[in-house]
Chains A and B, each alone.
Chain A
Amino acid sequence: MADDASSSSGCAGNLIDNSINQDELIMKQQREIEKEISETIPLVGELEALSSLEKEYNEDPVYLLKVKDLSSKYKYIRRTRPDGNCFFRAFSYAYLEHLLTDKSEFDKFYEIAKNSKEILVALGFSQFTVEDFYETFMEVVQRVGEQAGGSPDSLESVRAELHDKFNKQGYSDYIVVYLRLVTSGQLQTENDFYQNFIEGPRTVTEFCRQEVEPMYKESDHIHIIALSNALNVGVRVKYMDRGEGSQVSKVIAHDFPEGSKPLVHLLYRPGHYDILYA
């Protein structure tokens, strides 16, 4: 009996091992691709005219129609590195940039941001590691606050500073980590509600540990819903994919949370988010 049990568990162990080896091979290849991307694409790029999108789709009539539709509402695009963190990076960059010109929104956000750490610690996250990310995040937020609503000249220099910080891996990734934690905190606090969005047998906590908290994990609707609710920030996402039907020439928009006034505008193309500017 005992022998039977151990040999069958041994088999199960081997199966798991094989799948891990497969996973490892895939991950190794993925890491090589990631390395190449990180060497060629900045974390957050410069402002570009929306027409730069047309060049990408020169021979693609469906997408060209969509770019045309997009250009009726937006003039510029700012690209982000496709490293799985793009939603968080694009969102935080665009929102902080907006806050520079909106002092009352900044004051509202500052209160929410200041209290966010306590929520995470109360949920059981380790105090000193959360504090580490929180401090870097707040350092950048405070720099924005000092200049918010200032003269165009002072805004120009703080914009350059922001751009510089978002392209420094240390700062940039720390901001992403903190927003991932805030997102996870929101999902776990409103556990009952978000459970409905999760496919399969995973609990909200498991989902957070596997899909939200680790770096480089791509964001889905559920991440955007949670973060926009946690920070009470309106986000409009324009979805540009190969959608068919009567809407074929239109780029569909979604606002998060529903009915909110969007302050951040993002362009979604399958697997990736960039920032849009009117």
Chain B
Amino acid sequence: MAEISEKYNTKCPGVKRLMREAMELAEATEEYCARPLEDNLFEWHFTVQGPKGTDFEGGIYHGRILLPKEYPMHPPHIILLTPNGRFEVNKKICLSISGHHPETWQPSWSIRTALLALIAFMPTPAEGTIGSLDYSPAERKILAKKSVTWACPQCGEISALLSSTAAKPITEEEKSVLNQIAFKAEEEQTAKPPEEPVVEPEPQVLESSEPTNSFLDQLTEILVALLVGAIGIFIYRRWNAHYPASETEL
């Protein structure tokens, strides 16, 4: 912590807040643990216990938390790293309020809120939401078993990260909040548009020149055919005009 306070401007509210959260979450619990990377206060790694009584029971899942520079005014993003059968791995997912009130993140929520919400959300049906996976209970149970031996290149064996201490109990306020939070991946459209115009002009030019070429070809073919036909008719008439007489003469 001392190093972090030297490196960042602690007058900046986001930094002060994250240092506070790091202290709040310093001790690992049975259900979850999270801490900032040593060199970046705005990226954390977390570990959560699969919720009991679900397909994820016994599983341990690890991931990254990315905090926007506007945190806590804007919500954190979560990326799962351990295969789990509920969320795609290595894909940014974000919190939203289910139903008709998306993105009503509140600055008084915290990383703990996000982790508790993630645990609560895991057993909910995927329903085709972006970033969600709809694996069968059997597949999820296999992944849960496998997850125990999963290791993070930065944090090591994830099974060693959780402790046996129970986390602070969930308050009434938190409970009502957790029921409303949903997770899904970001719309990818936001990332794509800048790329498309760069890639597309070429094929577009090719495509647009091709149809006009073939149209011209067709037109000349028709013209040539008409011309040949016209000459043919002309010669036939001339021939008719010259030879009927000779025919009768013969």
A214:B106 contact, CB within 8 angstroms:
yes
Residues of A within 8 A of B127 (CB): 10, 13, 17
Residue pair B110, A214 in contact (C-beta under 8 Å): no
Contact A205 B104 (CB under 8 A): no
Binary contact readout A41-69 vs B (1 if CB under 8 angstroms, 0 otherwise): 00000000000000000000000000000
Q: Is A126 a contact of B13 with CB atoms below 8 Å?
A: no
Q: Which residues of B contact A101 (CB under 8 A)?
A: none
Q: Mark B48-76, 1 if CB is under 8 A from A, else 0.
A: 00000000000000000000001011000
- Cross-chain contact of A215 among B17, B107, B112, B125 (Cβ < 8 A): B107
> B20 on the interface (CB 8 Å rule)?
yes
Chain B residues near A274 (CB-CB < 8 A) = none
**Cβ–Cβ contact B73 & A136, under 8 A:** no
The reply on A28 being an interface residue by CB < 8 A is yes
Q: Are B104 and A177 in contact, with the CB atoms below 8 A?
A: no
> A16-B99, A214-B106 are known contacts. Are A124 and B173 too (CB-CB below 8 A)?
yes
Judge if A123 is at the interface, Cβ distance under 8 Å: yes
Of B174-182, B198-206, B220-228, the one contacting chain A is: B174-182
C-alpha spacing A169/B187, complex, angstroms: 27
Decide: A170 near B190, CB < 8 A? Known: A17-B129, A129-B108.
no
Q: Is the CB–CB distance between A123 and B173 below 8 Å?
A: yes
Cβ A213 vs Cβ B187 within 8 A: no
- Are A27's CB and B103's CB within 8 A? yes
Interface string of A151-185 (1 = CB under 8 A from B): 00000000000000000011101100100010000
Chain A residues with Cβ below 8 Å from B14 are 170
Instruction: Point out the residue from B17, B112, B173, B187 that lies within 8 Å of A24, measured CB to CB.
Output: B187
- In angstroms, how far is the closest chain A Cβ from the Cβ of B159? 29
Q: How large is the interface on A (under 10, 10 to 19, 20 to 34, 35 or more residues)?
A: 35 or more
- Of all chain A residues, the one with the shortest Cβ separation from B175 is A124
Residue of A nearest to B96 (CB): A20
Q: In the complex, are the beta carbons of B17 and A132 less than 8 A apart?
A: yes
Which single residue of chain B is at the shortest CB-CB distance from A174? B13
Chain B residues contacting A215 (CB-CB under 8 Å) are 73, 106-107
User: Which 8 pairs show the lowest CB-CB distances between chains A and B?
Assistant: A124-B173, A170-B13, A13-B127, A214-B104, A129-B108, A177-B107, A213-B106, A23-B102
B interface with A by C-beta (< 8 Å): 12-14, 16-17, 20-21, 24, 70, 72-73, 96-97, 99-110, 112-113, 125, 127-129, 171-174, 176-177, 180, 187, 190
28 A-B pairs within 8 Å (CB atoms) are namely A16-B99, A16-B100, A17-B129, A19-B100, A20-B100, A21-B187, A23-B102, A24-B187, A123-B173, A124-B173, A126-B108, A128-B20, A128-B21, A129-B107, A129-B109, A132-B20, A133-B108, A136-B13, A171-B13, A177-B107, A177-B108, A205-B176, A209-B106, A210-B97, A210-B101, A214-B105, A215-B73, A215-B107
Interface residues of A (CB under 8 A from B): 10, 13-14, 16-17, 19-21, 23-24, 27-28, 123-126, 128-130, 132-133, 136, 169-171, 173-174, 177, 181, 205, 209-210, 213-215
